[in-house]
Amino acid sequence: MRTKILHVISTMDPKAGGVSQAVKTMVRGLKFYNISSAIVSLDEEEIKRDYPDFELITIGKGTTSWNYHTKLISWLKENLDAYENVIVHGLWQFQCYAILKSMPAATATKIYVMPHGMLDPYFQKSAGRKLKAFRNQLIWSLVENRLIKKAEGLLFTCEMEKTLAHETFNGYKPKKELVVGLGVEKDLEENEAMANEFKIAFPQVTSDGYFLFISRIHPKKGLDLLVNAYLNLKQSGTHSLAPLVIAGPGLDTPYGREIRELAAKDPDIIFTDMLTGRLKWGAFYGCGAFVLPSHQENFGIAVVEALSCQKPVLISNQVNIWREIEREGGGIVVDNTQKGVERLLHSWTHLDPNEKIKMGRNAERTFHKYFTVGMAAKRLKEALNYD
């Protein structure tokens, strides 16, 4: 009997962003329906240590920023027919070209593409991305557009992602567009114990109810807006703000160093580097609110993790699931501008304690209504025509 689904991804390294986490969650959700999965990635063998209960095939690291590795093409040609369905995750990397070259060998396999927000017009219009936008336009013409037209369909994490995909490139004509959503695994119900573990690990966080930012330290995430807003409100003398905890990889990048230098003015801005496991969940449970003022966010796994912990989310309207959150009252939504983020912190700080509790309950309700693993797995199962 054939393995049902093959997930093809550039890397399963969690530090590379949310796509690897999305694939991990999808595989586990599908397993609940007895749908087996395998993953092939351009990683070294060592990455398997992070996925002991997964069927993960590692081809080896590719070369160049495109992650070029010809062995992937030969592996796909030899193995595609062993799978009923293939989902290619992400765009602009070599795995898309490898699938395109291997498709003639997939005589009994349906191939889908899941862009994970990579067709968002932000990436072509952002001021600091002119060279990358030119590269993407070229790759679109040579590879991605051809793959999308030949694929069985495109899979999207939310309605907003599907809508935005129409605004970016000429010639965009997929056979099908399917919104399958994305779920987040709820943590173990040890919220108080994990919150205490976080406090012990980071004693410099001196009070509960802190603001929490968990994401990559990257210009796209709007972290400079958040830090400046926090400093401005404090310096105005009219706001008593809880500490701001910033967790995520990328502090050693030029942007990360810039943020640290900016934040050095205030001891209440605390950096933890990347958090995983119980420390990550402990950070969620100890915070008052989660903050992510992104300039572009396709889904926001950390946003949904915060919702699952009954934590209000303070986000920009560039996080593609903002409508669901605003509709259910699970957070506060503003423009991704300096004034917008200052208004975000101001609004939260001046909420009545009972209103904060109510918003937290709404946050958890939002999670259960839209973002559980079971719901997302069911939608994906139906999209792939499994009974």
Please report the DSSP string for 147-164 in residue order: HHHHSSEEEESSHHHHHH
Whether 3-183+373-383 and 191-370 share one fold: the answer is yes
Kindly state the DSSP code that residue 33 receives in the 8-state scheme.
T
Whether the predicted pLDDT of 176 surpasses 50: yes
Give domain 3-183+373-383's CATH number out of 2.60.40.10, 3.40.50.720, 3.30.70.20, 3.40.50.2000: 3.40.50.2000
Q: Tell me the pTM.
A: 0.89
Q: Are strands 210-214 and 287-292 parallel, antiparallel or unpaired?
A: parallel
Retrieve residue 96's tokens: 């898309």
Give dist(CA 189, CA 70) in Å, integer: 45
CATH topology of domain 191-370: Rossmann fold (3.40.50)
Q: Where exactly are the structural domains of the chain?
A: 3-183+373-383, 191-370
Give dist(CA 51, CA 218) in Å, integer: 26
Paired residues of 271 in beta bridges: 246
| Three-state secondary structure call for residue 41 | strand
User: Cα 270 vs. chain centroid, distance in angstroms?
Assistant: 23
User: Cα 170 vs. chain centroid, distance in angstroms?
Assistant: 26
Q: How confident is the model at residue 187, as a pLDDT?
A: 64
Q: At what angle do helices 223-235 and 254-263 cross, to 10 degrees?
A: 10
Whether the predicted pLDDT of 1 surpasses 50: no
pLDDT tens track for 223-266: 999 999 999 999 887 778 999 999 999 999 999 999 999 999 89
Higher-confidence residue of 103 and 191: namely 103
Whether the predicted pLDDT of 189 surpasses 50: yes
Q: How confident is the model at residue 2, as a pLDDT?
A: 52
User: Cα 40 vs. chain centroid, distance in angstroms?
Assistant: 20
| Three-state secondary structure call for residue 337 | coil
